[in-house]
Chain A
Amino acid sequence: EAQVTQNPRYLITVTGKKLTVTCSQNMNHEYMSWYRQDPGLGLRQIYYSMNVEVTDKGDVPEGYKVSRKEKRNFPLILESPSPNQTSLYFCATRPLHTGIRGDQPQHFGDGTRLSIL
């Protein structure tokens, strides 16, 4: 079964305590991406990766880091979390190649709800 797995699903932590949210996919997709979702703002892209060791900033990268050492994993790192990073986070993946009619759609993980106190 095709899966995008995020861990943890829920986390309450304190300001400044480094944390990592993991994302793993079993579809052999090249493209992976992280989003955050806040009320009234929709999903906003944090970082994306086109393949191993290739990453780029989305619209809201400040305060986040990512790495792509393996094709299946794309962890999101908050080195020094702050309360304004309290949000619902989604990881997504899709094939990089474009079909005849355009990009393939993205598949999303179940989400990670982070609360930074």
Chain B
Amino acid sequence: RKEVEQDPGPFNVPEGATVAFNCTYSNSASQSFFWYRQDCRKEPKLLMSVYSSGNEDGRFTAQLNRASQYISLLIRDSKLSDSATYLCVVNTGGFKTIFGAGTRLFVKA
């Protein structure tokens, strides 16, 4: 079993749709969680950190469920520019970082 698992997709959605991604992690000692986006094999860019209480940034909402060991990302009112690969990132104890393989999103006009 991979330490961090994501549905690879692709998710194909129309503009304006709401889409949700989930990510599960296996190490219960994991401490910090992030969502990054990556465009066409460019460098990953931080979308948002994920906090225990849940957090929102505009159209994006991230949530963490420590008991079930998963994090989620909700994108509301999808834009064409949201088309990208979304990476779930987990910092385990001891300074290691584990990336999920990514979920592809295509937003269509």
Contacts and interface: CB of A to CB of B under 8 A. Distances in A.
A90 B45 CA distance: 12
A45 B41 contact: no
Nearest to B49: A105
B101 interface: yes
A42 B100 contact: yes
On chain A, which size bracket covers the interface? Answer: 20 to 34
Contacts of B28: none
Contact of A108 (B32, B43, B49, B95): B43
Candidate in A43, A103, A110 with the most chain B CB atoms within 10 angstroms: A43
A105 B44 CA distance: 11
B96 interface: yes
B43 A103 contact: no
A101 B64 CA distance: 13
Given A88-B41, A102-B32, A41 B95 contact: no
Nearest to A38: B101
Given A41-B101, A102-B91, A108 B51 contact: no
A111 B98 contact: no
B101 A102 contact: no
Question: Interface size class for chain B?
Answer: 20 to 34
Max chain A CB contacts within 10 Å: which of B49, B51, B100? B49
Interface in A5-53: 31, 33, 35, 37, 40-45, 48, 50
Interface of B: 8, 31-34, 41-46, 49, 51, 87, 91, 95-102
27 contacts: A33-B97, A37-B41, A40-B8, A40-B101, A41-B101, A42-B101, A42-B102, A43-B87, A43-B99, A44-B99, A45-B96, A48-B97, A59-B96, A88-B41, A90-B44, A101-B51, A102-B32, A102-B51, A103-B32, A105-B34, A106-B46, A106-B97, A108-B45, A110-B42, A110-B43, A111-B41, A111-B43
Given A35-B99, A43-B87, A88-B41, 12 more contacts: A42-B87, A42-B101, A48-B95, A50-B95, A59-B96, A102-B31, A102-B33, A103-B91, A105-B49, A108-B43, A108-B45, A109-B43
